[in-house]
Structure 1
Amino acid sequence: MPSSVMACRWNRAGCWFLLVFVLAGSTIRSAKQAPLSQHVHTLSSEEAANLLLHIAKPSYPAIAKVNFIQGTVELAITVNDVGHVITTHVVEGEPLLAVAAIDAVRKWVYKPYVSPEGPAPFSTNVVVNFSLRSTKFRTRIPENAEKDLEKQIQPPEVIAPAQSDPPGDAVQLKVLVGQRGEVVDATAGGIEEPQIDQALKNLEFWKFRPARWGAIPVPWYITVKVPVGRAAMEKSASRKAP
């Protein structure tokens, strides 16, 4: 994890949050990324932090608290030319905390970044740290809290994958399914761009049954293979050709 250059702390409900701004690494895609006609600049952590006008405080999920789940969530974000966060993607993070971090970061507001050509969108990474540091938790946190919780989770299930394309290649995606069964985020590694584009487009028509902790729906990850028709991939590639 890159070293921090700026941090802000606050106390809420006996829990401390630490926000660390880090430099964006490789380009990462969101499951629902809005197209941008302008060039997206990559800002350093210092540059992005200096543009922040408003930080929304994340809510520590109750189920994460009672199961002693803590840790960092790293998000790759894109901010448009008026300073609003328009895409968020989970680089790393426990699912319960990841959704809470996304909900908060989407409300952040930045001063517009001004390039030599004028106001322009930019990308950067932010890290949100959830830590149970109050005295009542300090001596009770188990060593294997995440593994213990995972054993209690009934994972998400695919209800209705929509396969409108003819049989062909399939792209494996790691999908973060929200507590209402919606796709919050999706990740594919080592896949060419036309395949990723088509897989994410097809994923929008999939339906999921959310994961459950007992009778309570919770956000969780599921790995799925999304069929990608060759004709659709060629059509997508031709649209991107100059």
Structure 2
Amino acid sequence: MAQQTQGGAATGLQNSGQQAVAALLKQVVLDPTALVESTGKPLPANGNWSIGKNVPAACPQTTDGCFLILYRVPDQKVSCEWVVRLTGDGSSGIILDQNEDASRYLLRRLPTSQAAEILVTNKKPVYPPIAAAAHVSGQVIIKILVSPEGTVEKAFVVSGPEMLRTSSIDAAKGYIFKPLMAGTKAVPFETNVAFDFSSVGSAKGVTSRP
């Protein structure tokens, strides 16, 4: 009976650990611009995921599952680590801490609604006169990579009319956010910014999100 109980506990722990990895993968993405020093290439996606055996010190006193998650790449001296506490039914989690390699090679993927909560300054793009004269309108979506300090380091066009893209990128680079924290560390993240251009007759306007 004792062996069965221990086996069941081990299985439950393993399943919870897998849930923690799944919850983490909803929130992080490999940074294609971060190059590994030994290879000069981005960190590959074929590394090994594992769960730490001991409860991390960053875990609070709670009945929720809390795990150390590791991502290691064979033949490369990279070890990314996160502390994740499961919430609710275990399908989501909170990142309580992460190490330097995790911050260097992976980005937090922040929904626009969460990015809006830490937005300090936004900037509307200039409606290009030639686009307004041609009655070009529509939505431009820009993906931005935000530094730990909250400034936009890179901006890429996801979609939108060609004539409105340059102005949108320039505006997105002017966004400033509060630092995104993982425990006591400020971490980089990515999110999308949407600019809606409308032009009716001589009237024109731009709205932005977040």
The TM tier, using the shorter chain, reads: 0.3 to 0.5
Higher relative contact order (CA 8 A, sep 6+): 1
Normalised TM-score (structure 2): 0.47
Normalised TM-score (structure 1): 0.41
